[in-house]
Structure 1
Amino acid sequence: MKYLVHDKIFAIGDDYWIEDESGRQAFLVDGKALRMRDTLELKDPDGMVLITLREKMLSLRDAMKIERDGETLATIRRKRLSLLRNHYRVTLAEGTELDVSGKILDREFAVEYDGELLAHISRRWFRVRETYTVNVVREDADPPLMIAVAVCVIRMAEKERDDD
């Protein structure tokens, strides 16, 4: 299933819609203004919060947490000893690790588990700069989680770039 992300195009603050491949609004990324740390909510079209994304405070390395129903679902960090600058590790609550690598700022990267592709993020077919797809390849992959991972690593890479 492919999802089209219109990242910050006509957004007020950090809010933007993600559409399914039929063009229907599937998820809203709702940025929470006036918070001390970066916080986003991924909501369904009815406004129900599916996933919360939070910048992890007091961390030696930049990290973001993905939460579902108040419980930590995953933690994302830039991989430490990586020759590739754009390589992130997603550690799920039960200990499973996903790898995210590619050209994050160019919106050309993959999410993999044990070498198997779960999702591919790309803006190859779009002329509009802030539009890209999240193609969830495996049927058993969790689309809101894959979208949350994509949104988190892009925000982390942009923050890192801005800090340099």
Structure 2
Amino acid sequence: MYVIREKFFSIGDDFDVLDANGAKVLHVDGKVLSVRDKVVIEDLSGEEVASVHRHLVSLRPTYEIRIGGEKAAEVKKKLFTPFREKFTIDVPGPDDLEMKGDLLDHEYVIERGGSRVAEVSKRWLTIRDTYAVEVAPGENPLLVIGAVLALDLALEREEKKKEKKDKD
């Protein structure tokens, strides 16, 4: 299980991803947030192991996950999902994943062909403004964490757009 602090993008600072025992396992550099909404995931030695950035030109919110410098997936909002937010994690080949559930409240699952790959939940933790990411054995935690961060970037961006629209 991994522990991630909620709403870190609004602050734009760095933060650590912890394991179930509270030990630091990854560092997320939030200072590189830019026009492209990019974050860098680093290992404990400070080396970049993955990154997430927004595509500037796309019909719907699309974020690219790179692991070890290679494109690993694109996280895209599904266009026609009435009453529910759904995002797909488009990986090379036929094994795409889908994020579904209550995405705004961090209570959702990531599935591949109906099988659970990961679960994201706030209910497992008593620490305020944090949520847990449980990754199934054999799955790539960097891909899952990258997808979760991409979703957070997309939701934060939508929230900022809505706030700006309300002000106008």
Flag whether TM exceeds 0.5 (same fold): yes
Q: Shift in Å at residue 119 of structure 1?
A: 0.5
Alignment check: 8 A CA contact 2:125 2:132 kept: no
CA distance in 2 between partners of 1:65 and 1:32 (Å):
18
Compute the TM-score of the two structures, normalised by the length of structure 2: 0.87
Find the partner of 1:147 among 102, 121, 145: 145
Alignment check: 8 A CA contact 2:74 2:91 kept: yes
CA distance in 2 between partners of 1:34 and 1:90 (Å):
21
Q: Shift in Å at residue 12 of structure 1?
A: 6.4
The residue type paired with residue 13 of structure 2 is D
Unaligned runs of 5+ in 2: 163-168
CA distance in 2 between partners of 1:6 and 1:34 (Å):
16
Alignment check: 8 A CA contact 1:4 1:131 kept: yes
Q: Do the aligned partners of residues 34 and 155 (structure 1) sit closer, same or farther apart at CA in structure 2, a change above 3 Å counting?
A: closer
Q: Which has the higher helix share?
A: 2
User: Which segment drifts farther, 62-71 or 28-37?
Assistant: 28-37
Q: Shift in Å at residue 161 of structure 1?
A: 2.8
User: Which segment drifts farther, 97-106 or 119-128?
Assistant: 119-128
User: Which segment drifts farther, 114-123 or 84-93?
Assistant: 84-93
Q: Do the aligned partners of residues 61 and 8 (structure 1) sit closer, same or farther apart at CA in structure 2, a change above 3 Å counting?
A: closer
CA distance in 2 between partners of 1:34 and 1:146 (Å):
20
Q: Which has the higher strand share?
A: 1
Identity %: 29
**What number of residue pairs does the alignment pair up?**
161
SS at match of 2:119: strand
Q: Shift in Å at residue 125 of structure 1?
A: 3.4
Compute the TM-score of the two structures, normalised by the length of structure 1: 0.88
Moved over 4 A (4+): none
SS at match of 1:23: coil
The residue type paired with residue 151 of structure 2 is V
Aligned-residue RMSD, C-alpha: 2.0
Mapped pair 1:160 → 2:152: no
Q: Shift in Å at residue 128 of structure 1?
A: 4.2
Q: Shift in Å at residue 151 of structure 1?
A: 1.1
